[in-house]
């Protein structure tokens, strides 16, 4: 395989590759943004007294929507304000959806990255830097997330002080057998650190070391299955391992950054290797 060097070009100064061209490429395949398996809901969406939203995207497996604004060249104040304004309009018009503002630009300067970061704690906001590359007679786009959405703690975690339960609570809510499945995965976690123990909360069973939560993995026993949620950045490699092993992957929760799996008791034996690998990856990323 021969090596070909790519040439970076400026779309802002290009005679024919304009903002509409970029919008069309994203509209054709929204997954190129790296935000997951999205579909196009609308393009150039009219906003009341506020211009047009470049792209409205939606996650296929959830009620998550992304208000996307594209800018060629450097970010500026007006574009940041417009991105947030369109997000605010859409979330008020359609409160049944979960909304996230997305700013895509060729050059997100450190100054404006700092400005965007100020909003990030209170507004779900993602900043993506876009590059156009020429390879021979072809041009391609790459997208790099330079500011990810602020990862909020689970609502459940905020209620732990008053909502701690016990094992019998979960055995009644699920069954003794499905709670025992959580014990099996606890043993996997103890392979990373023998201090891990289960912590029984109202909405999930978590993991803790020395009474301190470390919820890189949480468990929700049901009547016949155990739902497992692993905190990890979205990964095609990890998803491929789940698929090849036959693990039932429910979805990827983009809001909390978790893979959600559903397991039966035979699944624990059948898929123990890939489950241990996935838990290890979650631990390495968020368990320390």
Question: Which pLDDT tens digit goes with each residue over 133-170?
Answer: 998 889 999 999 888 765 555 444 444 444 568 999 99
- Buried residues in 132-155 as b, exposed as e (16+ CB within 10 A): beeeeeebebeeeeebebeeeebe
- Domain 155-286: which CATH class? alpha beta
**Mean pLDDT, rounded, for 94-103:** 89
Question: Which pLDDT tens digit goes with each residue over 254-272?
Answer: 777 899 999 999 999 999 9
pLDDT exceeds 70 at position 97 = yes
d(CA 81, CA 125): 12
Question: 141 - beta bridge partners?
Answer: 132
Ranges of H-type helices in the chain:
19-28, 77-93, 110-120, 155-158, 160-163, 167-173, 176-190, 236-245, 265-270, 272-286
Question: Which pLDDT tens digit goes with each residue over 167-216?
Answer: 999 999 999 999 999 999 999 999 999 999 999 998 899 999 998 899 99
Least confident piece of the model among 76-80, 112-116, 228-232: 112-116
Average pLDDT, the chain: 87
**Mean pLDDT, rounded, for 70-96:** 89
pLDDT exceeds 80 at position 70 = yes
Domain residue limits, the chain: 7-147, 155-286
pLDDT exceeds 70 at position 109 = yes
pLDDT band at 51 (very low <50, low <70, confident <90, very high): confident
Contacts of 13 (CB under 8 A, 6+ apart): none
pTM over 0.95: no
- Domain 7-147: which CATH class? alpha beta
The confidence score (pLDDT) of residue 61 equals 66
d(CA 177, CA 171): 8
Can you state the angle between helices 77-93 and 110-120, rounded to 10 degrees?
20
**In a 10 Å sphere around its CB, with 0-12 CB exposed, 13-18 middle and 19+ buried, how is residue 77 labelled?**
exposed
SS3 annotation, 50-82: CCEEEEEEEECCCCEEEEEEEEEEECCHHHHHH
């Amino acid at each position: 395989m021969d090596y070909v060097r790519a040439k970076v070009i400026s779309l802002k100064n290009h005679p024919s590759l304009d903002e509409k061209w970029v919008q069309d490429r994203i509209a054709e395949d929204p997954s190129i943004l790296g935000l997951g398996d999205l579909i196009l809901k609308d393009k150039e969406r009219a906003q009341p007294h506020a211009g047009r939203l470049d792209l409205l995207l939606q996650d296929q497996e959830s009620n998550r929507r992304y208000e996307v604004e594209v800018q060629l060249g450097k970010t500026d104040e007006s574009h940041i304000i417009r991105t947030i304004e369109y997000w605010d309009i859409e979330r008020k018009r359609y409160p049944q959806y979960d909304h996230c503002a997305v700013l895509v630009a060729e050059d997100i300067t450190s100054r404006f990255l700092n400005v965007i970061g100020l909003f990030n704690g209170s507004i779900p906001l993602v900043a993506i830097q876009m590059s156009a590359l020429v390879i021979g007679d072809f041009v391609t786009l790459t997208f790099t997330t330079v500011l990810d959405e602020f990862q909020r703690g689970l609502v459940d975690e905020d209620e732990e002080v008053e909502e701690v339960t016990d094992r019998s609570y979960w055995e009644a809510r699920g069954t003794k057998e499905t709670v025992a499945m959580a014990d099996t995965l606890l043993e996997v976690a103890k392979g990373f650190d023998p201090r891990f123990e289960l912590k029984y909360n109202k909405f999930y069973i978590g993991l803790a070391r020395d009474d301190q939560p470390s919820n890189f993995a949480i468990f929700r026993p049901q009547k016949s299955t155990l739902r497992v949620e692993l905190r990890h950045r979205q990964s095609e490699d990890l998803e491929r391992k789940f698929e090849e092993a036959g693990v039932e992957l429910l979805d990827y929760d983009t809001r909390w950054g978790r893979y959600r799996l559903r397991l039966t008791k035979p699944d624990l034996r059948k898929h123990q290797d890939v489950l241990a690998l996935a838990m290890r990856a979650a631990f390495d990323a968020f368990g320390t």
